[in-house]
Amino acid sequence: MSFPVALRHAVAAAFVALAAPTLTLAQGSSPLPADLSATVCNGCAEWNEPQRPFRVHGNTWYVGTRGLSAILVTSPNGHVLLDGGLPESAPLIAASIRALGFRLEDVKVLLNSHAHFDHAGGLAALQKASGADVVLHPWSAAVLRMGTSLPDDPQHGLYLPFPGVRANREVSDGEVVQLGSLAFTAHYTGGHTPGGTSWSWRSCDEGRCWDIVYADSQTPISEDGFRFTNSTRYPSGIADFERGHALLARMPCDVLLTPHPGFSTVFERLAEREAGDADAFREPTVCRGYAEWAKQRLAERLAKERVPE
């Protein structure tokens, strides 16, 4: 199973764009709480370009930036927001939520894919502005509490600190996070980080119910010197990747969304829908294709590690 050629090209471009940026630490101000340090990087301006928010399906909405996903799922009892982008993304995400006619204060739960500055950096500001509960994998909860990565992260040392936030609740693998009629299942899919978490839920529109998966990053990226094949810092890294690949390949999945939208060809699908394909976001084999693509990337990385220097 593999992506169609056009989709494979888009995903390959997204993979190249993930080369670790050069980072600096600066003080930033925003319409959201301005008493937090902002982590910025020379390569992040493109990621943080504003993006018009739009409906994915039913009560699921894209409210992220051009290069960093944030997903809003709404209900009369309150809303759930997945991921917060960069610290600088928080006001853009808040503006997108309001542009759709929703109140930021009605966001009751914040979820996260993995605890890196480009997906968790805005959570502190969004939590402070909304009052939402933060629900995290235990490893991610420890990272976000400190605002800096732990040594078992393959990318430890690449990223500067970001605004920390304390989890209100830690989730176990397979646990369901409920908010009124909304139900999100947590799936441990580590490897990219030890705390990587994918989330699944259902969204319905006029009786058409789709299984939506927000699949965490599956790229075997690391700082120089880290080796998945013999790591003492993260010895379960390969097994975590393999477990996640197997899970993503078999789980119900009509719509794939990812922390970097290029990996799930979000904007290509949006363009196709706007051109007249009402089901452009729906592809029941897409998670299987994503898992196969990720397996190939891991195999290439491990083969490279095993070549004698």
Domains in the chain: boundaries: 5-306
3-state secondary structure (DSSP) of residue 308: coil
Q: Quick one: average pLDDT of 282-305?
A: 97
Residue 151: both structure tokens together:
């040594």
Residue with token string 């990385």: 301
Lowest-pLDDT choice from 85-89, 159-163, 221-225, 266-270 = 159-163
3-state secondary structure (DSSP) of residue 140: helix
299 sits in which H/E element: helix 286-306
Domain 5-306 top-level CATH class? alpha beta
- What is the largest distance, in Å, between two alpha-carbon atoms of the chain? 59
Instruction: Give the count of alpha carbons within 13 A of 77, CB side only.
Output: 7
**Mean confidence (pLDDT) of the chain:** 89
Contact, 199 vs 186, CB < 8 A?
yes
Q: How far apart are CA 62 and CA 300, in angstroms?
A: 32
Contact, 256 vs 264, CB < 8 A?
yes
Q: Which residues contact 171 (CB under 8 A, 6 or more apart)?
A: 135, 136, 137, 177, 186, 197
* Strand pairing report for 79-82 and 71-73: antiparallel
Contact, 210 vs 57, CB < 8 A?
yes
Q: How far apart are CA 20 and CA 35, in angstroms?
A: 27
pLDDT of 38-68, one tens digit each? 444 667 889 999 999 999 999 999 999 999 9
Q: How far apart are CA 71 and CA 82, in angstroms?
A: 5
- CA 105 to the chain's CA centroid: 22
Please report the pLDDT score of residue 228 as a whole number. Answer: 97
Contact, 119 vs 85, CB < 8 A?
yes
Contact, 111 vs 199, CB < 8 A?
yes
Q: Is the pLDDT of residue 168 over 50?
A: yes
Q: Quick one: average pLDDT of 166-192?
A: 98
> Read out DSSP for 167-201?
-SEE--TTPEEEETTEEEEEEE--SSSTT-EEEEE
Q: Quick one: average pLDDT of 256-273?
A: 98
Residue 69: both structure tokens together:
């996903």
Give the E-state strand segments of 97-158 in sequence order: 107-111, 133-136
3-state SS, 17-84, equals CCCCCCEEEEECCCCCCCCCEEEEECCHHHHCCCCCCEEEECCEEECCCCCCCCEEECCCCCEEEECC
Lowest-pLDDT choice from 70-74, 80-84, 160-164 = 160-164
Q: How far apart are CA 40 and CA 164, in angstroms?
A: 15
Q: Is the pLDDT of residue 23 over 50?
A: no
Residue with token string 């195999």: 299
Q: Is the pLDDT of residue 1 over 90?
A: no
Residue 10: both structure tokens together:
């888009």
Please report the pLDDT score of residue 17 as a whole number. Answer: 44
Please report the pLDDT score of residue 309 as a whole number. Answer: 64
State the pTM of this model. Answer: 0.89
